[in-house]
Structure 1
């Protein structure tokens, strides 16, 4: 029975290795520029067309919000501080326009930085894009049922991670398209929605770097028969977005809560001194 199960798992692994070499090839460009890999399906540059549409809406909203804030602050005196210099609002307006207009160029620079950093990390790890998967399957099959099951778990995690990369590419593409709308928040002194938007953008791009590095490291460990370490690397790679999100994304109300707690403690201390 054990022999039959091993043969079944080996058959599944042999069927999967036909895809393994190509899955993580050029995965960084795939996630950063997903539209290039979908252009053959859509027949056009989908991202550029959608970005141009939302760019028009975003610029219109920036202008309308600038006029609204200026009118309510300096004419009606119902919003903001009327004593504040109009230069501050004007600076925020030009900042929002500059980011919305220059974002494609800025993102191009970011993409180059991410790719260069990833390549250097992979060079330091010593991971290669060409592996002898057939020899690995043969080694797995010779070590019994438990090892074969671990090998199957590794392949499942490998495919899950690949689909995560595809989802990350779509997520980054949506974030890129929506940048002009997020720039409306730059008209506020606290940067509004743009603050959390940029943090989410940074988290997505950093997740790509960490995940590709962990996946390559996991593959290298697995092919050297460090089975548990290899699986641990892939599981951590799958959990990377949540791991980074725990400390990269912050809520806007956190500072207010800290200040309120501080003032509450100070009031208690003052009351105790008065009682004494």
Structure 2
């Protein structure tokens, strides 16, 4: 019975190897430039076309909001401080237009930096994409039922993580397309929705870096499945990679009061302690 189960698991792993061999390559470009890897984008950049449409709409909203805020503040005196210099509003207006128009170039720089950072990190941890998956499956088949089950769990986690990469790529693509609309918030003193939008953007990008490093590290550990405990470390790396976005969200997404969650809580705690000391004195 055990031999039959091992043979069934090995057959499943052999079927998965054909996909896994191609999944490990180009993970960073696939997530940062998802439109270039989608069939619907063949022959042109889908993101660029949609971005151009929303850019015109976003610039129109920026102009309308600029005129509205200027009229309400300096003509009707119903919004903001009429005594403040109108230069600040003009500067924020120029900033919003500049960020919306120049974002594709800035995103290209961000993608290059992310790719370079990931390559350096993978070199540092010694992760490579040149793995012999067939040799790994052959080794799994000789180590018994329990090892074969753990190997199957590892492959399932890997496919889950790969689908997360695809969803992360779509998420970044949507954020890229919608950024001109978020730039409307730059006209507000607190930057409005733009601050949270940009934090979400960097969180998604940094999640890709951490997930890819953990994925490559986990695969590298699993390739040495004959070494004791390596199979458990490999699965642990993939499980943590799957949970990385939720883990980073606690530190990179601001709370409702503005500012990052942990730093904001520490700041307010220190303020409360200082106020309590003043009261005691």
Which residue number corresponds to residue 243 of structure 2?
239
Matches of 2:278 and 2:251 in 1, distance apart? 32
1:107-166, Cα deviation, whole Å (9 max, x unpaired): 000000000111111111111111111111121111111111100000001111111011
Change (3 A) 1:252 1:129: same
Report whether the alignment pairs 1:29 with 2:29: yes
Equivalent position to 1:251, from 251, 255, 263: 255
Give 1:44 shift: 3.9
Residue 164 to residue 93, structure 1, CA distance change in 2 (3 Å): same
Moved more, 33-42 or 20-29: 33-42
Name the counterpart of 1:114: 114
Aligned to 2:150: 150
Distance 1:74 1:243 in 2: 46
| CA spacing shift, 1:254–1:129, aligned 2, 3 Å | same
User: TM-score under structure 1 normalisation?
Assistant: 0.92
CA contact (8 A) 1:39 1:46 kept: no
Note the aligned Cα RMSD (angstroms). 2.2
TM-score when normalising by structure 2: 0.91
Change (3 A) 1:228 1:68: same
Distance in 2, matches of 1:268 and 1:121, equals: 46
Match of 2:207 in 1: 207
Unmatched runs of 5 consecutive residues or more in structure 2: none
Kindly indicate whether the alpha-carbon contact (under 8 Å) linking 1:39 and 1:45 is maintained by their aligned counterparts in 2.
Answer: no
CA separation of 1:244/1:190 partners in 2, compared to 1, >3 Å: closer, same or farther?
Answer: same
Please list, as runs of the form range in 1=range in 2, the aligned pairs for 1:126-137 lying within 5 A after superposition: 126-137=126-137
Q: Is the 8 A contact 1:100 1:183 kept in 2?
A: yes
Superposed CA deviations along residues 173-204 of structure 1, whole A, max 9, x for unmatched, are 00000000000000011110000000000001
Counterparts of 1:218 and 1:87, CA distance in 2: 54
8 Å Cα contact 1:96-1:183 kept in structure 2: yes
TM-fit CA distance, 1:95 = 0.4
CA contact (8 A) 1:58 1:184 kept: yes
Contact kept? 2:36, 2:42, Cα under 8 Å = no
**How far apart are the structure 1 equivalents of 2:66 and 2:4?**
71
Structure 1 counterpart of 2:161: 161
Q: Give the CA deviation at 1:248.
A: 0.3
Higher alpha-carbon deviation: 193-202 or 252-261: 252-261
Deviates more, 1:219-228 or 1:258-267: 258-267
Match of 1:253, SS state, is coil
The Cα shift of 1:266 comes to: 4.3
Task: Look up the SS of the partner of 1:163 in the other structure.
Answer: helix
Q: Which moved more, 1:170-179 or 1:243-252?
A: 243-252
Equivalent residue pairs, number: 272
Separation (CA, whole Å) in 1 of partners of 2:66 and 2:256: 22
| Alpha-carbon offset, residue 49 of structure 1 | 1.2
